[in-house]
């Protein structure tokens, strides 16, 4: 990898009690959320779409390739020689603390949980229920042999369930495991699992350094200058996983979520050789339709470098 030790550190993002988005709009508050809900005109989508054909990933990948499987939403299985890494895993029926209310999945996962290979590391980008799904995380912990990596001060929900080992990373911090290194990098978002814990824990993306290549998992993020900072610090990634959903209405969502047009801009700024769209197609979290981001990208994204996968579909990269 190119030596980038003289690149400036990421900006301050903690005031001593709460985290914040530096030099960027903060997440909308309660009154904005109320205005959105009172004026919302969501695009209609089917209650459930039965078009997923689950696939069975290999236990391990040999050779020098990278196999990338979109499971659903922001859950991606990254397989390289010596490592199986899972991002923001969710297999639950709802992204919610309750089984009877909250956003319900509209598509099945593209990999059955029992068909998952051994998982060496689980990367969790922040504590929202569609990204930190404790029922799924408990199941992963019971299988054993997984290391869980979370943002700064976000380990408490896992500790409360006796899940471990768990490592917290602040922006700019890294963790080296047997065959790869994980770097925590900025995102523009917010955190909360309840009414009183807003921004008490951090949110982040991750750069994975392994097998002579870089993989960037953006987590959940608005568009901003951090994409250029990440490229300057680490170099252009071989693969970028970029969120494209939950972006309407823009007046409310743009401080915390990218739209598909933003994701294309991020792809270009990062100079990623390949990008894959995530955070779409399974949960309808905002006013745009379930497949609106996919439909927009299908006519505008460069098909050779920006991929839109179905749940269960995989790409093999060199």
- pLDDT tens digit string along 149-206? 999 999 999 999 999 999 999 999 999 999 999 999 999 999 999 999 999 999 999 9
CB 276 within 8 A of CB 309: yes
Identify which of 170, 154, 201 has the alpha carbon closest to the alpha carbon of residue 18: 201
**C-beta separation of 94 from 105 below 8 A:** yes
**Residues constituting the chain:** 318
9 confidence band (pLDDT: 50, 70, 90): confident
Identify the pLDDT of residue 211: 84
Beta carbons within 8 Å of 217's beta carbon, 6+ residues apart: 76, 87, 123, 125, 205, 206, 207, 208, 241
How far apart are alpha carbons 185 and 202 in whole angstroms? 11
Cβ atoms of 153 and 130 within 8 Å: the answer is no
Contact (Cβ atoms closer than 8 angstroms) between residue 139 and residue 115: no
pLDDT surpasses 60 at 292: yes
Distance CA 57, CA 235 (A): 29
- The residue ranges of every structural domain in the chain are 53-317
**Domain 53-317 in CATH 3.30.160.60:** no
pLDDT at position 64, please? 92
Q: If DSSP states are collapsed to H, E and C, what string results for 95-141?
A: CCCCCCCCCECCCCCCCCHHHCCCCCEEECCCCCCCCCCHHHHHHHH
3 state DSSP class of 45? coil
Tokens of 170: 């602040």
């Amino acid at each position: 990898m190119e030596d980038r030790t003289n690149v400036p550190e990421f900006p301050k993002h903690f005031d001593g009690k709460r985290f914040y988005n530096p030099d960027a709009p903060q997440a909308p508050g309660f009154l904005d959320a109320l205005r959105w809900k009172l004026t919302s005109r969501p695009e209609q989508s089917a209650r459930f779409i039965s078009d997923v054909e689950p696939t069975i990933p290999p236990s391990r990948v040999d050779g020098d390739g990278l196999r990338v499987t979109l499971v659903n939403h922001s859950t991606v299985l990254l397989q390289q020689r010596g490592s199986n890494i899972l991002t923001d895993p969710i297999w639950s029926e709802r992204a919610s603390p309750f089984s009877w209310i909250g956003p319900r999945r509209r598509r099945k996962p593209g990999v059955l949980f029992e068909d998952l290979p051994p998982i060496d590391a689980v990367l969790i980008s922040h504590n929202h229920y569609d990204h930190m799904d404790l029922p799924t995380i408990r199941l992963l912990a019971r299988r054993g042999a997984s290391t869980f990596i979370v943002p700064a001060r976000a380990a408490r929900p896992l500790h409360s369930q006796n899940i471990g080992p768990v490592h917290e990373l602040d922006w700019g911090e890294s963790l080296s495991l047997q065959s790869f290194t994980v770097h925590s990098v900025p995102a523009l978002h917010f955190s909360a699992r309840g009414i009183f814990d807003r921004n008490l824990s951090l949110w982040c993306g991750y750069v994975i350094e392994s097998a002579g290549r870089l993989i960037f998992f953006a987590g959940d993020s608005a568009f901003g200058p951090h994409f250029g900072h990440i490229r300057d610090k680490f170099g252009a990634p071989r693969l970028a996983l970029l969120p494209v959903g939950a972006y309407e209405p823009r007046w409310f969502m743009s401080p915390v979520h990218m739209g598909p047009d933003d994701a294309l801009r991020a792809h270009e700024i990062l100079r990623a050789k390949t990008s894959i769209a995530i955070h779409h197609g399974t949960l309808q979290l905002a006013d745009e339709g379930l497949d609106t981001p996919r439909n927009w990208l299908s006519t505008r994204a460069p098909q050779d470098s920006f991929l839109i996968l179905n749940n269960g579909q995989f790409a093999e990269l060199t």
